[in-house]
Structure formats: structure tokens, C-alpha cells
Structure 1
């Protein structure tokens, strides 16, 4: 890519600035850590961003990521729509009986998935790791991290020389939720001519388990919504009540549920008689994303994308994107008879169909043959997928140790991913995570950092 040399020079310059103690010394680190704690930019109580440099994405790479998001979202949408009509496809995806019943409920607006995240390693092109169609985390952390990064001395000096553009995933989330609500309210107005007129501004409940590690993020979401005159609050599923056609919590009516609790996790704790499900089935509340989002969230959806027998479902542009961007993926129970069976163990990994946070992943190159065989057998029994290894992108960052902030920063080369927040098929922000492990997740010790777009013109040049 022609912008990559420019990006490399810019990163080198940033690291030169970080060598100056007045710009990136221990006191700067300590202030940055404290600012994140004060702003509640934590996951499970731990500060997420432990780098004094943000991720930088060139405008050229941003355009390529936008195109990938658009085409692959359309392809996943094809799978969602077909799975609603085809019970055999729903079965192949691994949808449970309860998930199928929930998917059959009309959500009151178009698009099964309105907020999602496409996780990639972006080297020459964005190669897909997985598609988080159900309640992706981290959106509101990004805005807070970016604001604090702007206040650091090294970043401020860098901005005197380079033009950076911030990405606003929080803004995209807010406008998407409002758009979904207006679509839902219009449909309800048409269908229920004698019903009360829906509010033009919904009251939004952010719903997840009460002990969710991302609880601080929910506070950021609520704060942003309230700052834009949208009533909002946090509730756990146990707080919800459904009476007289109205879903409520703490005595407050709920118009829209921003569902942060994954469908599989919800069903692990509650049944279909839960107030949220009854209100959703009655069309009394808007839920975003809908319970249909679990269709594309299944890891087996990637296997469906790569199945030659189903290639005709997709447009020529979508097929090209699938071929070049999505790694080979197979259902574990059919892998032995597939074209991937001859591949070496160190070229493959196993993933649960429905887990999140990096749980249950087995890297073939990280375990011995006996462990791999046992994991493969268990994967066949438990509906896992087998996936082709994707080469990671490495990045060098000025990072610090939370246990030793007085030591300042040191340059470390880490694995970095590039994860696109997708709002009804459009790129609305990017999450970058850093880790020493290829199971790259903040719940596994990785860190999340803000991402800025680096434009191809040096100021004053």
C-alpha cells in the first residue's frame, strides 16, 4: 500500500517524541493512568489503555476496511434471512430450539443485526478472525480513551506535525439506536392505530447481567445518551417487569432495550417466560440488536460463507470479499471429510460456536499433538469450528506496566488487531487491541487503545 511508508515514518516520529521524558516520562504515565481511572475507562477494574500511542490507520486502509465491512455485512445478512426461512440452515448454524423461537419473532424493524463488530488482522488486507454480531463491547470506551490521549504531551506535539481524525463509534451507536427506534415506532403506529402515540425520543435501558465486567462502559453509554437529552439508565434482567403491555424497571417505562447481554448468555440464565421476552414477542418494546443477531454471531456462519455449495447466494463482489478476506472455516464435525483435513495442526485452530472473550479457543500451533487430538474430538462433539490460521499483524508501541508506572514507557512489539464496529452495514469506528497472545482479548490480559485516522499530508509540508 502506498500509504504504508508514510505511516511507518509517522510512527517512528511518534516514538522519537516518546523518548523525551517531558513528553512521555513517569509523571505523564501516572497522570494518564489516573485520568482513565477517574473516567472509569476500565474493564473488570483494570485500566484498558496501557500505551501512550494510539493505533494509526491511514485513509487508504480505512477505505479498504469500509468496503470489506459493507460487503461482508451484506453476505451475513443473506445468511440471516435464509436461516429464518430454512430450518436445515438454522440447524447447520447450530441454533438451539429456543434461539429459533426467538429468531421467529419480528423485531419491528429491518436488519437482524444493527450493531456488530468485524474482528481482523489488517496486514496487506483485513483478514477476518470472527464476526461479533451479538452485543460487541468497547464502543464507548473508545471515545473516552481518545479524549484522554489528546491530552497527553506526546500526542499533542505529534498533532502539530500530523493531521489526525478521530473516529466516533459512540456517535454512531447513538444515531443507530435512534434510527432503529423511529423505524420501530413508525411500524407500531401503523399496526396499532388505536394505541398510544410512541414517544419521538425513547427511554433506553442498557441491559446486561449486574456483574458484567463491562459495567463501567454502560455508565459511559448512559452518560452520552443523557447528554443528548435521551432518557437512559442501566438495568439487569432481574430488574425488568412487564405489565399491561409496558416493560419497565425501577418504575420507569422502557421503550428501547440496548441489549448488551448475549443471546446465549441470556438463555443460560433465563427462559422464554422472562418479562423481556414477553414484551419483545408482544411488540411492546424495541430491542437492539434483535434476538435474530445470534444467527450471524455463530462461528459456523463463517463456514457457511466459505461453503462452495452456497456461493450462489452471494453477489460477485461479495464472493470476492469472502474468498480473499475470510479464512477457511469448517464445522468440526465435518472437518475430517473436508479439503482442510490434510492441513498441519500448526495451521489450524478450534473455536466454540458460541463462546466469547476468547474462551475455549485452542491454537494448534500452541499445543502438542495429543492435546490437539483430544481438543478436536471434543470440538466435534460440542459443535466447534476449525479455522485456518491467520497471520497476525505486529505493531510496536510505547507501553507501560500498571504495576510500575514510575518506570515510564518502553517500546514493545505486540500483536495488534483491527476490529471494525459495524452499524447496519456501515463502518462507524475501530477497536484496536494489543496482546502478546494470539487469543487477543482484554479479558485475557490484552489491552484496548484508541484508533485515529492518519491523513496523508504532513502539516506545514
Structure 2
């Protein structure tokens, strides 16, 4: 169902001479506004503030359940938990390195709105995610355009600036190292990581967060030095390492793990704050969602918590080993429900490796399930994103679009949102797999 602000915006865009129809093109001409992908869609996304904050409250509750799964379901036995989520070997060793610490709630959840409510597709927990730069800057830029500012004032539009929330959160966390002085923070990628991800993510994050008052620097693991137990980057002693590298990057080469050791040791010695530890990658594994969703584990949650799970999380089941398909009736059920299921690799992101059952023939779906169970996957109920109608500036006609919402959360709760938008029907999975179709959207609340 289209909300009242969207209807008013679309109607205004059809009035000859109304400046709203050109607002996004005006924004695109501003090089100071960071984007994930250009061009922009024809308009921003509008959502009732009460609705997105209520979902963020559910998300916070889910995160509380997620980060306590080892204790709730496995009596604190981390080995049993790792096995249940399908994390083994060197990956498990890295992720468990700081598992005695409570993970910081900080990240971005990927979400669809199905027309009735927001539904969680996957948790993104940790500092190695993107979007901290443009989620707040794009709506800020819109509000500096007269035509949009007038419309926003008429309809009471606002937004939470994710970058400002992030600076405040990081500064507060850094007090354990820096005390009351301004902390020195360094975004640290893996070797070669800035060549791969710098232009798409970290250069803009660096520029925006510095502009918001964070003493922030950029480097890679092999740029760090150790002096008197402290980490030094380009002659500066670092208080906080913002971890931009992930577990899989370190595992590309044994030498990369060795390069990360000084960071881990300095964190353990209280000489630097590692924001975040690799433990957060563990809770981002999709197998964790299956533990929340599967009624086999329902005893670990209160009745109220189960209501939150049912409300916000689609049906999700784990295929972590080949024998999971030998459970009587399991394979037959997954075959019969092919048109409503999607297969996702446990530790990949952005749509990589995903198999949509509804666009896959029976034989190919059976093969995908078999191979997925051998490699470690989850099967999740399909969520169809609602259609967002937007007025085409060239024709004046309404065209259908679909949105992948990114909802940011931090220790204080909701920390803003972003929108990745595609023409309806152009892709079944919005993300890196479909990056050529993705447009940088904006989210404003009313």
C-alpha cells in the first residue's frame, strides 16, 4: 500500500513546472554527496517513523537473542555452537579469538518490506560493512534543495544521520583507551583491501566521518607499526582500529593472519580498541538465523521473544551438512516448496551464491540443495519486496521499483536507514550480485 507522503510526492511530480521531479538529478550533480551506486532513482523512499523504529526495536531484541545463542542453546559450549552454525577450522579459530567478550551491537540489517511489514533478510553485524557515509548524507543533501526542503517542511519529513550517530558511538566506545581526549581512529583494511574496496566504500567513509569531527585515518594491516605495545599508523598512535577486513580476507594467505596478530594482541592488552573483533563475523553467519527460526530450538526463547522472531524473521532452516537432507520428508518438502524458497550460502553476502527456487527448474533445485547442504547453506522463505511507484522525469509516468532497505543499529538503537533501489523485475536479488541495476536511494521518515 502506498503511503500518503509517497502519493503526495508522485502527484506533485506530475504538475508541470514542479521542481520535485528534478530533485534527484540536481542531487546527482553535487560531487560532495557520497553514493554507493549512481544514478539515483527518481525519488527518495518515505516511511512512517513509528513503523521503522518499531522494526528497529524488534531488530534490537533479535540481536540480543543472536549474541546469546551459545548460552541459550548450547550451555555456553562454543564448539557445539560453531558446529551448529557450520563454522569450522581456521575460520572458527579466528572468530572465537575474542568470543569471551560481549559483541558490540553495531551494524546494518538488510530488509525487505513485503507491503505489510519489514522482514529481515540477514543480519549485518560489525564494522566491515558499508553505508555509514551515504545513509545520512544523501537525505541531508536533499534537504538543501529548495523544492525538496519545501515539500519536507509541508509533510514533516526527517531522518537520522547515520554518520553523526556513528561518530558519537565510536567516540564513546574509545573512552576506554583515550579517556576524555579526542580519540585517534584508523580504518584498517587487509593487504590490498583499499584497492578493492576503497573507492566503493572506505574513502567516502573516511571523508564524511572526518568532516563530522572524527580524527580518522586510513591504512592496511601492513602499514601498522608497533611501538611500546601501541599501534602506530603514519607516525600517529592509534586508539581505535576500525576493522574493515573480514575473516575471509585474512584466510586468503597465512601471512595476512600474522599481520593481524599485532592488532589482536594490542586489543587484548588494552592498548587499542578493536572495533569490531572477528567474533561479530560469527554472528553474521546465516546459520544463526536458522537457530532463531527453527522450532527445535524454541525452548531457548520466551513466548514474547518467539513473537518477535515470527514477526520479523522469515522461515529459515539450516543445511549445514549433507545428512540434513536425509531427515525423513526434508528433501521432499524443500522440493515441493521450491517456488517460495531461496538458498543462501552461510558466509557469503550481497546475493553471491544465492539460488532462487522460483527461477530454478526442479532438477537444478535438487542439485542446488544437495551441493548447498555439502557446502553449508540456509534455506529461507521468499520475501517479495513491495512495489514502489516513482514518476519517471522523462515521461511523467509512474514506473515500478523495488527496494532493499538497510537499517542501521548501534548500542542506542535505530541509527538511520538507506535504500538500494532497482527497477521492478530487473533482478530477483538486490545486492552486489545485481550491482549494475542498483541505484543509490534515500530514506526519510514522516
Deviation larger for 341-350 or 212-221: 212-221
Contact 2:188/2:244 (<8 A) preserved: yes
SS of residue in 2 equivalent to 1:365: helix
Q: In structure 1, how many angstroms separate the alpha carbons of the residues matched to 2:350 and 2:371?
A: 20
Change (3 A) 1:272 1:238: closer
> Which is worse superposed, 254-263 or 265-274?
265-274
Higher relative contact order (CA 8 A, sep 6+): 1
Alignment of 1:63-82 (within 5 A): 63-79=53-69
Q: Is the 8 A contact 2:21 2:391 kept in 1?
A: no
Partner of 1:19: 14
Aligned match of 2:29: 34
Residue 243 of structure 2 aligns with which residue? Answer: 259
* Matched residue SS, 2:402: strand
Contact (CA 8 Å) 2:133, 2:209: kept in 1 or not?
A: no
Find the aligned partners of 1:417 and 1:172 in 2 and give their Cα distance: 22
CA distances 1:265-289 after superposition (whole Å, capped 9, x unpaired): 3333555643333322342321112
Q: 1:378 to 1:242 in 2, by over 3 A?
A: farther
1:126 aligns with 2:118: yes
Question: In structure 1, how many angstroms separate the alpha carbons of the residues matched to 2:302 and 2:136?
Answer: 35
Q: 1:376 to 1:320 in 2, by over 3 A?
A: same
Taking the aligned partners of 1:373 and 1:362, their CA distance within structure 2 comes to: 11
Label 1:409 to 1:114 Cα distance change in 2 as closer, same or farther (>3 A): farther
The answer (yes or no) to whether the contact 1:259–1:289 under 8 Å persists in 2 is yes
TM-score (norm 1): 0.83
Give me the CA root mean square deviation.
2.8
SS at match of 2:3: helix
5+ residue gaps, structure 1, are: 186-196, 401-406, 455-461
Which residue is 1:193 aligned to?
Answer: none
Question: Are 2:358 and 1:365 equivalent residues in the alignment?
Answer: yes
Query: Given the superposition, is the C-alpha separation of residues 424 and 164 from structure 1 closer, same or farther in structure 2, using an over 3 Å criterion?
Result: same
How far, CA to CA, are the matches of 1:211 and 1:126 in structure 2?
A: 35
Give the superposition deviation at 1:21.
5.3
Give 2:223's match in structure 1, choosing from 232, 239, 242.
239
TM-score, scaled to structure 2: 0.86
Q: Number of aligned pairs? A: 425
Using a 3 Å threshold, how does the CA distance of structure 1 residues 310 and 199 change in structure 2: closer, same or farther? same
2-side partners of 1:408 and 1:258: how far apart? 45
Ranges of 4+ aligned residues in structure 1 off by more than 6 Å: none
* C-alpha separation in 2, matches of 1:103 and 1:23: 54
Q: Aligned partners of 2:328, 2:431: CA distance in 1, in Å? A: 30
Aligned partners of 1:349 and 1:387 also within 8 Å? yes
Distance across 2 between alignment mates of 1:89 and 1:222:
36
The structure 2 residue matched to 1:203, chosen from 179, 184, 189, is 184
Correspondence for 1:111 among 80, 96, 102: 102
**What displacement does 1:54 show?**
1.4
Cα distance in 1, alignment partners of residues 257 and 4 from structure 2: 58
Q: Deviations over 1:420-461 (max 9, x none)?
A: 11113711111222123231125622223111111xxxxxxx
Q: Secondary structure at the match of 2:348?
A: coil
How many Å separate the matches in 2 of 1:320 and 1:425? 22
* Secondary structure of the structure 2 residue equivalent to 1:95: coil
Name the SS of the counterpart of 1:118 in structure 2: strand
Within 5 Å, give how 1:185-204 maps onto structure 2.
185=177, 200-204=181-185
Structure 1 Cα separation of the partners of residues 91 and 420 of structure 2: 31
In the alignment, does 2:109 pair up with 1:137? Answer: no
Three-state SS of the structure 2 residue aligned to 1:268 is coil
The answer (yes or no) to whether the contact 1:51–1:398 under 8 Å persists in 2 is: no
Of residues 303, 311, 319 in structure 1, which corresponds to 2:306? 319
Q: Which runs of 5+ in 2 are unaligned?
A: none
Query: Could you tell me whether the CA contact under 8 Å between 1:335 and 1:386 is conserved in 2?
Result: no
**What is the match of residue 448 of structure 1?**
440
